[in-house]
């Protein structure tokens, strides 16, 4: 189940934090939102309920592990979860750490920007490479 | 676990489609998105992972039942799922039917509007009371 025209089936470049044969967790390069991750199902499926119940739970477990990882490592004021897929209809989840003074708060990150400040500055993550920290925590949570 | 200042703890008016002692499904009055539903956990909790695993699955089962209901009844081009809670930090999920020519497609519904047309017109739901249809399908899916 691969669509050769789909950028999530055949990604050009991804920072993979964790993966198995069912899905992968990637770190999104977005300076406003340090720790922003996506969980991408490997198969080219469109909707959540195109998965059977067992695979829905499997995906859920990974999404919640990413939420716990972000709460532990970047300690945001809020977590945003979303599965939209309007632009790329290949099942994936956004797991987004939010801060009260980030670029869009309290709006969704898809709304117009409210301020210029970057959460990386606000939260003190300047120059900090979060990748190994996220990888280690995810590995701990998902190894069982 | 009720916060008297929270509009989801003490709602003024809601069109409830289904409920139990854990959560409720309400129909959102949004002419652009006929069938738009929210799943609201009754307790005043902030994040998904503030629920234990059993209750996470319980919530997941309701969210996926709403997705199936919308796919069956309003037959959208895409389903959008999101749990944000930036404005009202009380755990709830948006289940939003999307059409290729709706007001915001292919952007998120929180982005600036792209066109004036209402999906209710586009999809032929003018004058149609979806409430009993949604209620019946949800009841079928969640009765077991």
Chain B: give the shortest CA distance to residue A109, in Å.
8
Q: How many CB pairs under 8 A join A and B?
A: 94
**A86-96: average pLDDT:** 97
Determine which of A105-109, B7-11, B113-117 has the lowest per-residue pLDDT on average: B113-117
Position A73 pLDDT exceeds 70: yes
Residues of B in contact with A105 (CB under 8 A): 86
Q: Do B83 and A78 touch (CB under 8 A)?
A: no
Q: What is the pLDDT of residue A86?
A: 97
In the block, tokens 């990888």 appear at: A135
Spatial separation of the C-alpha atoms in residues A32 and A42, rounded to whole Å? 27
Work out the pLDDT band at A116, boundaries 50, 70, 90.
Answer: confident
Position B119 pLDDT exceeds 80: no
Position A122 pLDDT exceeds 70: no
Report the share of chain A in percent with pLDDT over 90. 80
pLDDT by residue (tens digit) across B36-53? 999 999 999 999 999 999
Work out the pLDDT band at A120, boundaries 50, 70, 90.
Answer: low
Residues of A in contact with B110 (CB under 8 A): 107-108, 110-111
**pTM, entire model:** 0.95
Contacts of A108 (CB under 8 A, 6+ apart): A80, A82, B82, B84, B86, B108, B110
Question: Would you say how long chain A is, in residues?
Answer: 144
Position A135 pLDDT exceeds 80: yes
Q: What is the pLDDT of residue B121?
A: 61
Q: Do B67 and A46 touch (CB under 8 A)?
A: no
Chain A: give the shortest CA distance to residue B67, in Å.
7
Spatial separation of the C-alpha atoms in residues A19 and B61, rounded to whole Å? 25
Average pLDDT, rounded, for chain A: 93
Determine which of B91-100, B111-120, B133-142 has the lowest per-residue pLDDT on average: B111-120
Q: Do A83 and B82 touch (CB under 8 A)?
A: yes
Q: What is the pLDDT of residue B23?
A: 97
Position B12 pLDDT exceeds 90: no
**A29-55 in b/e burial notation, b at 16+ Cβ within 10 A?**
eeebbbbbbbbbbbebbebbbebeeeb
Report the share of chain B in percent with pLDDT over 90. 80
Strands A37-41 and B92-98 turn out to be unpaired
Residues of B in contact with A56 (CB under 8 A): 60, 64
Please provide the DSSP assignment of A75-99 as one string: --SEEEEEE--SSS-S-EEEEEEE-
pLDDT by residue (tens digit) across B58-81? 999 999 999 999 999 999 999 999
pLDDT by residue (tens digit) across A7-58? 999 887 899 999 999 999 999 998 889 999 999 999 999 999 999 999 999 9
ipTM of the complex: 0.94
Residues of A in contact with B60 (CB under 8 A): 56-57, 60
Tokens for B49? 């992972």
Work out the pLDDT band at A121, boundaries 50, 70, 90.
Answer: low
Provide the Cα torsion A77, A17, B106, B92; round to 10°.
-40
DSSP element (H, E) containing B39: strand B37-41
Position B22 pLDDT exceeds 60: yes
């Amino acid at each position: 189940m691969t669509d050769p025209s789909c950028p999530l089936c055949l990604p050009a470049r991804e920072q993979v934090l964790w993966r198995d044969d069912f899905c992968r967790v990637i770190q999104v390069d977005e300076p406003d939102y340090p720790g922003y991750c996506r969980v991408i199902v490997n198969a080219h499926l469109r909707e959540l309920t195109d998965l059977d119940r067992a695979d829905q739970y499997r995906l859920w477990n990974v999404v919640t592990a990413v939420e716990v990882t972000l709460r532990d490592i970047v300690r945001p004021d809020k977590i945003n979860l979303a599965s939209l897929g309007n632009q790329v209809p290949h099942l994936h989840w956004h797991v987004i750490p939010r801060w009260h003074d980030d670029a869009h708060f309290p709006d969704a990150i898809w709304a117009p920007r409210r301020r210029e400040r970057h959460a990386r500055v606000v939260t003190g993550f300047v120059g900090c490479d979060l990748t190994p920290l996220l990888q280690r925590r995810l590995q701990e949570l998902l190894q069982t």
